[in-house]
Structure 1
Amino acid sequence: MPDPTTTRPGPRIRFHHPATSWMDALPLGNGRLGAMVHAGRTRDRIALNADTLWSGGPRTHGVTGGPATLAEVRRLLLDEGDPAAAGVASKRLQGPNSEAYQPLGDLLVDLVAPTGGDCRRELDLTRAVATARTGATVRTAFCSAPDDVLVVRLRGDHPLDVTVTLRHPHREGWTTRPDPVTVAAGGRVPAHVPPPHPDRSEPVVYTPGEGMCFGYAVRVLARPGTVTADGDTLRVTGTREATLLVAAETAYRGWDRVPHDDRRRLLDAVTATLDAATAVGPDRLAARHEADHRALFDRVHLDLPGDPALDAVPTDERLARVRAGHADPGLAATLFAYGRYLLIAASRPGSQPATLQGVWCEDVQPAWSSNHTVNINLQMTYWAAETTNLPECHRPLFDMVDELAVSGARTARSLYDCAGWTAHHNVDLWRTSWPVGEGRDDPMWAMWPMGGVWLTLHLVDHAEFAGDDEFLAGRVWPLLRGLAAFFLDFLTPEGTGRLVSCPSTSPENTYRDPAGREVSVDVMTTMDVWLLRDLFRATLTAADRVARAGGDPTARADGDLVRRVRAARGRLPEPVVGPDGRLCEWSAPVTEVDPGHRHLSHLYGLCPGTAVDPVDTPAWSAAARRSLRARLDAGGGSTGWSRAWTIGLWARLGDGVAAAEGLRELFTHYTAPNLLNLQPPTTFQIDGTLGATAAIAELLVQSHNGRLRLLPALPPAWPDGTVRGLRARGPVLVDLAWRDGRPTSATFTAAHDRTILLALPPGVPGPSSVQVRAHVPTTLTFPG
């Protein structure tokens, strides 16, 4: 298969005007450091973030009487059938709200000598370099992972006159100059940042001596040239080329430790980072950065041929064309590449997981605290990690889950008197694991102890994609064992003898009870059914594999747990299909308050879960299809992440036509000019862009339930194309080419000798399986 990168320019985000807002700025990152580049004609503003800069600090939930409250809620639901009263009672289980991700500050670069001409900007996704050209002045910027610095290079055909300033939005601050060409600044973030709330306004809390400290610094390298300092500003004159190096450090010491309060330690850390980067030098910094980024990014390439002239058209203009009804397969390919780029930039080994806004947050009181929302958003952010061959970028999520299990064990015991561990819908740097809301918020958000299950299933997926039983035994099994222990205690029998989760919610949604009241708590919603089926299946499978790999889950404690899981699995209820043929969201057919709700929780079993399959479970598949269509017909898919989820659902249903319509809707209503995802009208979240990348991969290759499916849901607007490097379970790398909507060749490269079961598009002749040898590419060709 030809390498598409040799025949088409690499994917880029382009603009022919200065940046005007966050929605047309260009993001850079190395996992730890984030930079949003707002380039203009005479001023560049680069908004900075550090992954561990959050408000607050370690704390506990402070809830008392949890087990008694749980018993009361269950009595109200199971014995009295009063979900309204149960919902009110459940608020007593709510602890403090999560803390908020914080901005670090800005780097301001002012071109003192005006430059004429247009401001043309681009983000080269292949090299992870942002460039701005204004007249004869060129600025490039990148965030280096190997050297942990932001690098900004300025070049002109005339002597430069540039000022460089650091500023930050926090009340407590300091500035110093550790050497003649360096300015350092720092401060302290708030002690507490309440989440913005539509019904109340609460101020940010600054408390002397509380809140995390931070420091950052910029160094100017200009030879020849002169660098002078004035307060927090550096001025560069007399050079045609200058390099700015930016480093940052926070006082974070661990999720369960109070941050340190040592300004000198912060200053020494950023100075040491700058010294090391200075010794490397600008050219080697650039080369090391590009090699590091491309080692990840170049693993996968998608080419969807279209009009070659569009490659040079600014991205906002291409987006406008799509909104006007014009086809642009190349823009879909760029979106696919952009999601991979963003995951590389926001999530690296050793960093924190991406927040709701990745590593790009400009507000002290950001929307939804820019936290880790784990009832869909964080999971969607990582859906593409395995399928698009970025498993290293998945690791920060795994590290967080390990820590959350410790916090969640305390919550399980103190709040519910259960063994094991649990987590709810909001997580922050301090590993909040309890229901949040402070006793004031609706349980439709808070009362959801399933967060740990969904997160841990990401580790299960990683083990399946990697074929790594050692990872399963050493890393995943302890998490599964703890979750299983929790739910064996938490599940309770109801009248028919079934084991149910109670109370139970369907994330962020409500329904009408028989009295017509809007309520949110139930007994065993459909999402709980899917998640617990997956948890118990994964636990039993892992126990078997760990035993075969030489572990000892058959020792008395684990052996008892496995037997109990096997028995409990058989007592879980089935999902309910209503009289209208739809998959019910709740434990029974109900009157929906919002038939077009943004969450699609009851369809988890179809995507990202695998229990619903058009081949294996056609009845459930048909019910899921009816549910999805009804949700969309009622106005669903009304956020970027929700619309991306619908594309993944259509992909699993094998419906390329509906998926293409979902992608058009995503571009039309939920995509910013810089292709970032929108929570309408203007709030940025990262999940939808990455969810779209995962969905596009699923349109081309799927590998769940023992079959490798080729082109399971190809959109009609993509009749020809190639993709290389997609990752299937096993692991198996897949290169695929197609023409006129039919595959022409497929190459499989597996890590082990194996037989791959194939599912080809209808009407395409070919084998039902292929035998491959370890690390030997095996190519199938298909007749035209």
Structure 2
Amino acid sequence: MPDPTAARPGPRIRFHRPATSWMDALPLGNGRLGAMVHAGRTRDRIALNVDTLWSGGPRSHGVPDGPATLAEVRRLLLDEGDPAAAGTASHRLQGPNSQAYQPLGDLLVDLAAPADGDCRRELDLTRAVATARTGAGPVRTAFCSAPDDVLVLRLRGDDPFDVTVGLRHPHAEGWTLHPDPVTLAAGGRVPAHVPPPHPDRSEPVVYRPGEGMCFGYAVRVLAGAGTVTADGGSLRITGTREATLLVAAETAYRGWDRVPHDDRRRLLDAVRATLDAAAAVGPYRLAARHEADHRALFGRVQLDLPGDPALDAVPTDDRLARVRAGQPDPGLAATLFAYGRYLLIAASRPGSQPATLQGVWCEDVQPAWSSNHTTNINVQMTYWAAETTNLPECHQPLLDMLDELAVSGTRTARSLYDCAGWTAHHNVDLWRTSWPVGEGRDDPMWAMWPMGGVWLTRHLVDHAAFAGDDDVLARRAWPLLRGLAAFFLDYLVPDRTGRLVSAPSTSPENTYRDPSGREVSLDVMATMDVWLLRDLFRATLAAADRAGHADDDLIRRVRAVRERLPAPLVAPDGRLCEWSAPVPEADPGHRHLSHLYGLYPGTAVDPVDTPVWAAAARRSLRARLDAGGGSTGWSRAWTIGLWARLGDGAAAAEGLRELFTHHTAPNLLNLQPPATFQIDGTLGVTAAIAELLVQSHNGRLRLLPALPPDWPDGAVRGLRARGPVLVDLTWRAGRLTSATVTAAHDRTLVLTLPPGVPGPPRVHVRAHIPTTLTFPH
């Protein structure tokens, strides 16, 4: 039997062929800079991004008759019972669409002579280093350094070689210059406006002179014994066995609510200063500093799922094809788990912007869904693994965004709804869009969802719980929760029974049939709203208590309003209702699973504490999948997390096979049909795998709650539970054999062990002292 703790090569993504598209390129990043490495036989193209390079600029949205429009929508919905007419009226509340995340440009590296042999490429996730080599040609090694804020590309050959280096970008007002003999700089201006691609209409990207964010970037050559020549718009390196390229970039961003500056010299000076500092560090120290920084985060957690050791050397796309053909490969699942953590480290660091729909990587000027922060599932899923896989630092950009979004959302709350506090809807961008987007033309199933701030702030509450830090709850979460609670105390409205409801309400992006058979989206109160508001009010009460505000008038109102919320309904067929009544579904296999939020990522539905709701959630999930649900990568990842919370490892394993088969690119990035890259599914499955192994909600530490049957042997080190508590596990033949827990504080842990595993129901642990439990096999 293989030893799951035995040393194995670190996780890697590898190919034995050149890159041909975004879906087989290799991503690098430091949170601020993104680089997608397309290595070829004679040309390497590295597509570059910077986290603050977005179209547009600061703006606001108000509707003079917003409160009156809301009242009209509610009259049509609550009094007239006409959700179709209410939906039409709600169009008047929609504002401008969000702006789009933008590509920076490309670094082009052309080798003078092609080499014979295979083009072998590899991404070492443990070191965050991409390498490529064709035959006996020079080895290219690339990494994106967080300590020194540069992309580094080293070329080393056994024989002297020549190479030409260039820069290009797709934007307006472009410029190129040589600030010194070994540096090439370029820049330009991104669009003033980028509409989202829409299947029913085509709208152009808009460039306007003097409008839109300016940017600059540069490459510097450290050529060793070679010669560097500035040649027009390129740099030519000749006769060298080793060369190092350093790339730095800057944008004119000054803040979410400030117009970007328009000073090219300022951009160029900032880029040159970064390059000067990196060059002074030198190639070897740059590599050492980068690797130490990355390992400090990535090395906290390790998942081992032993399989055939020979597969470690097989190209990733071939391994993926084997899994699609029904061959077992637990190691590929472990690599995917590690890849999600790698991508979060690469896309989200303290001080950076939050990861977009495409992380920090985007190649299109008009990207799908604007590559924005979509808050009705996608950006949240991107960060689900931050706490459980011990990357709380990488959570910070999302948490920091909340403070800015609350300022924008305060204006939206007052101008659109005449409510106190703050709110946010389903699209957010660099400029902190908080209003319902759609420009008066889009279906309210997207726009009319003022719950974005509630779900996002749940992340801050969870961050405090995993850290065991009441100060975070009192100091950071309380002001945001207080503002959200104030909004919904004003926003909620009584229905005919006296319950307080969130009309007009939607279940994100989904629709149902009204009594006349029309497909409609507005409801009195969708089930997801119930779960979210229960979460909000519970967290608000807890934070108020920690902050010393338990007797505030707002808190007294929260307690009273909480009792008037409706409860989620169970339909006659035993399923959990998605809407306020068991209405006919227009799309029974819809990709969203919003009504199951209370099961995961929420915690209100628990097979132990609320078995009736858990059984109803199980029936709903199975029915959704049987009707074709889980049809996107992120949706399938969500189903795996839901099965984990239900304790069904076999169903989760089937979901993982479906994800590999239908929603995974050759480089293991997540696919949105037909072939659009989104980062959320890859990170979401990492979070789901963590949930299969350890759960810590509702006061219990659950060990191997949903182990997939095709992972009979394995080990995991460093998963993080609430408290915080670090957990290491080993298992053999599908049975838990040992668990080591290390808590930050003295405490008693309530344990839930897998069925048939004898052990103590509670264990007392001392702060920072590992406690190991062994279980007879």
TM-score bin, normalised by smaller chain: over 0.9
- Specify the code of the residue in structure 1 equivalent to 2:633: G
Aligned residue for 1:578, secondary structure, equals coil
Question: Aligned partners of 1:409 and 1:543: how far apart in 2?
Answer: 20
Q: Does 1:434 align with 2:435?
A: yes
Task: Quote the sequence identity (%).
Answer: 88
**Is the 8 Å Cα contact of residues 444 and 522 (structure 2) preserved in structure 1?**
yes
Which residue of structure 1 aligns with residue 139 of structure 2? 138
The answer for the alignment partner of 1:73 in structure 2 is 73
Separation (CA, whole Å) in 2 of partners of 1:620 and 1:563: 29
* CA shift for structure 1 position 36: 0.1
User: Aligned to 2:698, what secondary structure does the other structure show?
Assistant: coil
The match for 1:123 is 123
Hey, what does 1:512 align to over in structure 2? 513
Corresponding residue of 1:764: 757
The 5 A counterparts of 1:201-216 are 201-216=202-217
Q: Output aligned runs, 1:439-478, within 5 Å.
A: 439-478=440-479
Q: Which amino acid aligns with 1:341?
A: Y
User: 2:332 aligns to what SS in structure 1?
Assistant: helix
Structure 2: distance between partners of 1:236 and 1:525? 63
Number of the residue aligned with 2:163: 162
CA displacement, residues 695-726 of structure 1 (integer Å, 9 cap, x when unaligned): 00000000000000000000000011000000
Write the distance in 2 (CA, Å) between the matches of 1:301 and 1:747: 14
Q: Matches of 1:114 and 1:604 in 2, distance apart? A: 54
1:272-351 to 2 correspondences below 5 Å: 272-351=273-352
CA distance in 1 between counterparts of 2:325 and 2:104 reads 39
Which residue of 2 is the match for residue 588 of structure 1? Answer: 581
SS in 2 for 1:159: strand
What secondary structure sits across from 2:699 in the alignment? coil
CA distance in 2, matches of 1:380, 1:187: 34
1:20 pairs with 2:13: no
Shift of 1:4: 6.9
Q: What residue is the counterpart of 2:29 in the other structure?
A: 29
Counterparts of 1:4 and 1:16, CA distance in 2: 28
**1:667-720 Cα distance to aligned partner (Å, 9 max, x none):** 000000000000011100000000000000000000000000000000000011
Q: What SS does the corresponding residue of 1:705 show, helix, strand or coil?
A: helix
Q: Letter of the 2:44 partner, please give it.
A: D
Counterpart-to-counterpart distance in 1, 2:643 and 2:586: 24
Deviations 1:436-459 (A, max 9, x none): 000000000000000000000000
Q: 1:62 offset after TM fit, Å?
A: 3.9
How has the CA–CA distance of structure 1 residues 717 and 602 changed in structure 2, closer, same or farther, with 3 Å as cutoff?
A: same
1:61 Cα offset (Å): 1.2
Q: CA deviation at 1:5?
A: 7.9
Task: Return the TM-score normalized by structure 1.
Answer: 0.98
Q: Deviations 1:148-182 (Å, cap 9, x if unpaired)? A: 00000001111110000000001221111111000
Partners in 2 of 1:759 and 1:159 — Cα distance?
62
By how many angstroms is 1:554 displaced?
A: 4.4
Question: Who is 1:107 aligned against?
Answer: 107
Q: Which amino acid aligns with 1:69?
A: T
Q: Could you tell me which amino acid in structure 2 is paired with residue 41 of structure 1?
A: R
Structure 1: 5+ residue stretches without partners: 548-552
In 1, Cα distance between the equivalents of 2:690 and 2:233?
47
1:602 Cα shift?
Answer: 0.3
* Amino acid paired to 1:451: G
Look up the match of 2:195. Answer: 194
What is the match of residue 613 of structure 2? 620
Q: Show the counterpart of 2:595.
A: 602
Instruction: Say yes or no: does 1:403 pair with 2:404.
Output: yes
Measure the CA separation in 1 of the matches of 2:233 and 2:546. 59
Report what 2:53 is aligned to.
Answer: 53
**Aligned match of 2:498:** 497
Q: Identify which range, 537-546 or 30-39, moves more after superposition.
A: 537-546
SS in 1 for 2:484: helix
For 2:575, the aligned partner's letter is R
* Residue of structure 2 aligned with 1:729, choices 709, 722, 732: 722
**Quick one: distance in 2 between partners of 1:45 and 1:62?**
44
Measure the CA separation in 2 of the matches of 1:284 and 1:246: 16
Q: 2:772 aligns with which of 764, 779, 784?
A: 779
**Aligned-partner residue type, residue 508 of structure 1:** E
Change in 2 beyond 3 A, CA 1:562/1:3: farther
Query: Do the aligned residues in 1 keep the contact of 2:324 with 2:660 (CA within 8 Å)?
Result: yes
Supply the RMSD in Å over aligned alpha carbons.
1.0
Report the AA paired with residue 59 of structure 1. Answer: R
| Change in CA separation of 1:698 and 1:475 when aligned onto 2, cut-off 3 Å | same
**Aligned with residue 654 of structure 1, among 641, 647, 650:** 647
CA distance, structure 2, for counterparts of residue 108 and residue 221 of structure 1? 16
Please give the alpha-carbon distance, in whole angstroms, between the structure 1 residues aligned to 2:3 and 2:63. Answer: 59
Measured in 2, the distance between the counterparts of 1:92 and 1:752 equals 53
Aligned partners of 1:63, 1:569: CA distance in 2, in Å?
A: 30
2:63 is matched with 63
Following superposition, the deviation at residue 541 of structure 1 comes to 1.3
TM-score normalised by length of structure 2: 0.99
1:5 and 1:53 map into 2 onto residues whose CA distance is 44
Alpha carbons 2:4, 2:714 under 8 Å: kept: no
Which amino acid letter does the alignment assign opposite residue 696 of structure 2?
S
Cα deviation, 1:357-408, whole Å, max 9, x if unaligned, reads 0011000000000000000000000000000000000000011111000000
Q: Which of 556, 559, 571 is 1:578 aligned to?
A: 571
Task: Give the letter for the 1:82 counterpart.
Answer: D
CA contact (8 A) 2:62 2:416 kept: no
* 1:663 lines up with 2:664 in the alignment: no
Aligned length: 775
Amino acid at match of 1:497: G
Aligned mates of 2:294, 2:64 — CA distance in 1: 49
TM superposition shift of 1:116? 1.4
The 5 A counterparts of 1:556-571 are: 559-571=552-564
Question: SS of the counterpart of 1:245?
Answer: strand
Instruction: Indicate if the aligned counterparts of 1:4 and 1:301 stay in contact, CA closer than 8 A.
Output: no
C-alpha distance in structure 2 between counterparts of 1:108 and 1:334, whole Å: 30
In 2, Cα distance between equivalents of 1:220 and 1:658 = 53
Where 2:306 maps in the other structure, the secondary structure is coil
One-letter identity of the residue aligned with 1:419: A
Match of 2:526 in 1: 525
**Which whole-Å CA distance do the structure 1 matches of 2:62 and 2:423 have between them?**
17
Structure 1 match to 2:235: 234
Partner Cα distance (1:244, 1:4) in 2: 40
Deviations 1:233-279 (A, max 9, x none): 00000110000000000000000000000000000000000000000
| Residue identity opposite 2:222 in structure 1 | L
Residue of structure 2 in register with 1:675 after alignment: 668
Q: Counterpart amino acid of 2:102? A: Q
Equivalent position of 1:743 in the other structure: 736
CA distance in 1: counterparts of 2:16 and 2:5, whole angstroms? 24
1:567-621 C-alpha deviation (Å, 9 max, x unpaired): 1111000001111000010100111110000000000000000000000000000
Aligned twin of 2:7 = 7
Whole-Å separation in 2 of the counterparts to 1:513 and 1:166: 56
Q: For residue 706 of structure 2, what is the aligned residue in structure 1?
A: 713
Aligned equivalents of 2:224, 2:76: Cα separation in 1: 75
- Residues 75-129 of structure 1: per-residue CA shift (max 9 Å, x gap): 0011100000000000100000000000000000000122111100000000000
* 1:433-488 C-alpha deviation (Å, 9 max, x unpaired): 00000000000000000000000000000000000111111110000000000000
State the distance in 1 between where 2:114 and 2:322 align.
34
2:487 & 2:444 partners in 1: Cα distance? 20
Counterpart residue number, 1:550: none
Deviation at 1:3, TM superposition (A): 11
Q: C-alpha separation between the residues in 2 aligned to 1:7 and 1:67?
A: 63
Report the Cα distance in structure 1 between the residues aligned to 2:125 and 2:422, rounded to whole angstroms.
40
What aligned pairs does 1:479-494 form with structure 2 within 5 A after superposition? 479-494=480-495
Mapping of residues 673-712 of structure 1, within 5 Å: 673-712=666-705
Q: Residues 610 and 704 of structure 1 are in contact (CA less than 8 Å); yes or no, is this contact kept in structure 2?
A: yes
Separation (CA, whole Å) in 2 of partners of 1:504 and 1:66: 16
- 8 A Cα contact 1:708 1:757, kept in partner: yes
Letter aligned with residue 225 of structure 1: G
